[in-house]
Amino acid sequence: MNDVTTQPVTGSATTTIAAPISAVFAAVTDTTRMGEWSPECVACRWVDDATGPTVGAKFEGDNVAAVGPVTLKLWTTTSEVIDIEANASFEFIAEGYPTWRYEFAERDGATVVTESFSYPPYAGWQKLVYGRLLNRSKGMTTGMQATLNRIKESLEH
């Protein structure tokens, strides 16, 4: 039996932030602030003369994977903005692999923000290590919820 699948791996997290949609959108699309909130991405900067979020703009993100105080891996990715619609959506692709998307909706004066990811399924040794042993998609979903919770805390104070 062949267990090869072509369905993308996906995950999402959602929170409601008691702040205007324009403020939430501005915070999330200012990728230079992601290091304040993400448990994995510790710093970002616009590159190639980009100064903000527009389709085609690129930014680098410094990432860390750690277990407690022990750093397991450090890496930097270059991402490209592939969709942005004011107060509605922000999407980028990291080095041609995972796609990250934020969607925004106004509800009763607050903002509902959903973060999601999608990437092709792992194959070979990566399927065993990242897919089964490390359950990477579950870790990414947990990380997204932590990020959204930190954004919420930051914008509501």
Mean pLDDT in order along the chain per 10 residues (157 residues): 70 98 98 96 96 97 89 93 98 92 97 95 68 71 96 97
Q: What is the DSSP letter of 52?
A: S
Q: What is the 3-state secondary structure (H, E, C) of 23-45?
A: HHHHHHHCHHHHHHHCCCEEEEE
Q: For residue 55, what are its two tokens?
A: 């389709």
Is the model's pTM score more than 0.75?
Answer: yes
